[in-house]
Chain A
Amino acid sequence: MVIKPLREVEPLERGRIVKVGGRKGIRRRLLDMGVVVGAEVEVQRVAPLGDPLEIRIKGYNLALRLEEADNIQIEIFEGKL
């Protein structure tokens, strides 16, 4: 079982959120947007300038910066992409 911060998840890798941390403001914002423990996540792409990230979660696409992605821990699904 591999757990790593969302920042290090490669595009098209999928996983499940195991922890949402960070300071009050950012954590609340993430929770509001459906970034909660147990949600499945697939990294879609990185913006042309290298930041932010685009992820697919709960059936929609969400953009967030790498520094915000550091607050999220992902358990990577093994096997096929």
Chain B
Amino acid sequence: MDNEQIIRTKDGSLAHLRTIHGDDAETLIANARYGFISGLIKDVLKKPAVEKTTATDRIDRLMLNRWLGIPLFMAILYGVFQFTFIVSEPFMDWIDTGFGWLSEQASGISPSWLGSLVADGIIGGVGAVLVFVPIIFLLYIALSILEDSGYLARAAFIMDRLMHRIGLHGRSFVSLMLGFGCSIPAIMSSRTIENPKDRLVTILVTPLISCGGRLPIYALFAAAFFTAHQGLVVFSMYAIGVILAILLAWVFRKKLVPGESGHFVMELPPYRLPTIVGVVAHMWERGWSFLSRAGTIIFSAVVLIWLLNYFNVLEHIGRAVAPVFIPAGFGQWQAAVALIFGVLAKETVVGTFGTLFAGAEAAGGFGQVISAELGWTPLIAFAFMAMVLLYIPCVATLGIVKRETNSFKWTWFTIIYTLVLGWTVATLIYQIGSLFV
């Protein structure tokens, strides 16, 4: 049979089916399939007349309650961050002390340039990043629990109305939630979104959601400049990210890729108690990428930064770029350098400051050193944190944006819009804040 014959035969059969059953083939196939299944089940399965109330029903009566559903959802998000910060604190202190001791030992190495490279460059830079390993791992534990328990599907259910209004899909919300861990798996998870336009917009705004790699920067500056309100300051960064992601998703969906959004027909799976093995495996899988980056990208970056600094090149690079950031308050070359290297991986920002201000611990803490050397106020630190949150996503994320959109155009679009957005928001924070402070 040639092609035309096949198509003619197919159309003929479809018309035949329609005249006999009054339904199209898809419906008939589905009906026949489910008819067979229910027949089979009747033969082999005895069910009680009344379905028992399951644990899932009871939990959902609370979690999806008309009035309590949203407050509980907010409380869970807030609880995740509180848990992460409070539990990680003692571990971070130990690691910090450990690196301090190591650095002291290493500074004795001769010749002195080698001692400085090891103590200030490598231990100072990589150590500054590794201190945050407990926070990252705990955040990943919490997200794994939410994911494995089945609550993320409920989050999509609760938020779909809102997401639908901005032109997206409840599933987009799950991707954005995963973005709190890392943008890369979050962007990959957008594959579950069927509508291509919904999916593209989700990919474009996911980098605005604050990932684990950005947490060390907030943690560092919040501890240095906002001792009393650390939790609130960090939480506000997450809030800025979420609000802007939603706002821009709405704008993009309206202006860039207008059109109807996909359907929301989704299973709410039964709740399951996450297994320890499952959670640890998830945590390790994600946490490992953070650790291995500290050993590779960040290690190379801090050595490069130390070398460029040692030969006085770094300052020139920084000074060339720094004026751009004067309106945002952080027009110092050190900040410019940190932002340039932060594109490799956002946590490199911390490594850069660690290398440039090695010995800050001895000089009375990071906050004092930065405010003394750079003249930073809490307002500038806040604007800088917002910049780090929003500007160009890390190269690994850009790679995944390229792969998932299969388009250089959208990858460049991501780079440019995030840079403009970050600069604008940081400048607004600094300029408006200056009127009050």
**Which residues of A are at the interface with B, using a C-beta cutoff of 8 A?**
20, 24-39, 44-52, 54, 56, 58-65, 68
Would A52 and B30 count as touching, CB distance under 8 A?
A: no
- Can you sample 16 A-B contacts with CB below 8 Å? A28-B26, A29-B263, A35-B265, A36-B27, A37-B31, A39-B34, A44-B57, A47-B64, A48-B70, A52-B157, A54-B64, A60-B269, A61-B60, A62-B267, A63-B266, A65-B164
Would A32 and B30 count as touching, CB distance under 8 A?
A: yes
Most-contacted residue by chain A among B70, B157, B269 (CB, 10 A): B157
Shortest B30–chain A CB gap in Å is: 4
Q: Which of chain A's residues have a CB closer than 8 A to the CB of B51?
A: 56, 59
Question: Of the candidates B60, B66, B67, which one forms a contact with A46 in the assembled complex, judged by CB atoms under 8 Å apart?
Answer: B66
Question: Of the candidates A20, A56, A59, which one forms a contact with B27 in the assembled complex, judged by CB atoms under 8 Å apart?
Answer: A20
Prevailing SS type, chain A contact patch: mixed
Would A47 and B30 count as touching, CB distance under 8 A?
A: no
Q: Which of chain A's residues have a CB closer than 8 A to the CB of B161?
A: 47, 49-52
Bound state CA distance, A50 and B64, in angstroms? Answer: 11
Q: Which of chain B's residues have a CB closer than 8 A to the CB of A63?
A: 153, 156-157, 160, 170, 264-268
Would A48 and B64 count as touching, CB distance under 8 A?
A: yes
Closest to A62 in B: B267
Bound state CA distance, A28 and B26, in angstroms? Answer: 7
Q: Which of chain A's residues have a CB closer than 8 A to the CB of B160?
A: 47, 51-52, 63, 65
Bound state CA distance, A36 and B162, in angstroms? Answer: 29
Would B26 and A60 count as touching, CB distance under 8 A?
A: no
Closest to A25 in B: B263
Bound state CA distance, A72 and B67, in angstroms? Answer: 28
Would A33 and B265 count as touching, CB distance under 8 A?
A: yes
Bound state CA distance, A70 and B263, in angstroms? Answer: 13
Bound state CA distance, A38 and B31, in angstroms? Answer: 9
Question: Of the candidates B57, B69, B164, B265, which one forms a contact with A30 in the assembled complex, judged by CB atoms under 8 Å apart?
Answer: B265
Shortest A30–chain B CB gap in Å is: 6
Closest to B47 in A: A59
Would B157 and A29 count as touching, CB distance under 8 A?
A: no
Shortest B346–chain A CB gap in Å is: 33
Q: Which of chain A's residues have a CB closer than 8 A to the CB of B34?
A: 34, 36, 38-39, 58
